[in-house]
Amino acid sequence: MTATDSTAPAGSSTPVRLGFHETPHLVTGIIARAGLDPWDFALVPYDVREPFRLLRSGDVDAMVVKYGLREPDITVGPPVGWDERVLVVGAGHPLASRAGVSVEEAALYDAFAQPEGFPGYVWDRVVPPRTPAGTPIRRVHALTTVDALVRTLTSTQAVHLSFRSVEAALPPQVKAVSVEDLPSAPVSLAWLSGSHQPGPVRDFLRAAAAAAVPDPDPAR
């Protein structure tokens, strides 16, 4: 199914509804590795400013998350994949032509602040307050929508520490450069604690865990 589909094809059972952010590539990869039919799923985008609203309202059965959660009403499964860290910059940025950069170099430029409604403890993993060497990362720009992000990146020398999966949503005037000294982010599935999961949802969660991709950096 496509990212905007909310009903299953005629004659099929109710689809497993999966929440994702920005691009569905992580979700479709998880489904493919689990050996399941993508037409048995409805992929539902969620807003980074209200990441858990659809899960808590019952509009999705599970959602893709990174770095784990500390939400008392949400259960997070084991990592089922990994998402490479990238630095997103305007095409004219001094770092745009590089094959890879260090997070220490990224810290020379203004970055993006925690979106309103997004958990700060997760944002500190996405855009750390400091580099491993202790350099503060200036998290000053507001992050709202992809369009607003692109406008900021193309009109300033701001940078955004992000993930390889987001690259598919970026226009040509924005580039994603590998961050060589930040480990890939663990990708997991999350669902409401204590909720009754239909059989297809339980089967998917088990199959996804069984087909998990190994940690690309086990020595982290």
* The pLDDT value given to residue 131: 97
Please provide the average confidence, as pLDDT, over all residues in the chain: 92
Same domain for 158 and 138, yes or no, is yes
Q: Has residue 153 been placed in a domain?
A: yes
CA distance 98 to 1: 36
Q: Has residue 39 been placed in a domain?
A: yes
Same domain for 91 and 168, yes or no, is yes
* The pLDDT value given to residue 42: 97
3-state helix, strand and coil shares in percent for the chain, rounded to the nearest 5: 25, 25, 50
Model pLDDT for residues 29-54, shown as the tens digit of each residue: 999 999 999 999 999 999 999 999 99
Query: pTM of the entire structure?
Result: 0.89
Listed in sequence order, the residues at least 6 apart from 194 whose beta carbon sits closer than 8 Å to its beta carbon are none
Model pLDDT for residues 164-220, shown as the tens digit of each residue: 999 988 999 999 999 999 999 999 999 999 988 899 999 999 999 999 998 887 765
- Structural domain of 106: 85-179
Phi, psi (5° rounding) for residue 37?
-80, 120
Q: Has residue 198 been placed in a domain?
A: yes
pLDDT of 103 > 60? The answer is: yes
Rounded percentage of the chain residues whose pLDDT exceeds 70:
93
What are 7-13's contacts with CB under 8 Å, separation 24+? 7/42, 8/39, 8/40, 8/42, 9/39, 12/39, 12/40, 13/40, 13/200
Mapping DSSP to helix (H, G, I), strand (E, B) and coil, where does residue 139 land?
strand
Q: Of 44, 5, 53, 55, which is closest to residue 22 (Cα–Cα)?
A: 44
Residue type, 31: I
Same domain for 67 and 23, yes or no, is yes
Cβ-count burial 126-140 (b if 16+ within 10 Å, e if not): bbbeebeeeeebbbe
Same domain for 73 and 89, yes or no, is no
Phi, psi (5° rounding) for residue 182?
-115, 130
pLDDT of 11 > 90? The answer is: no
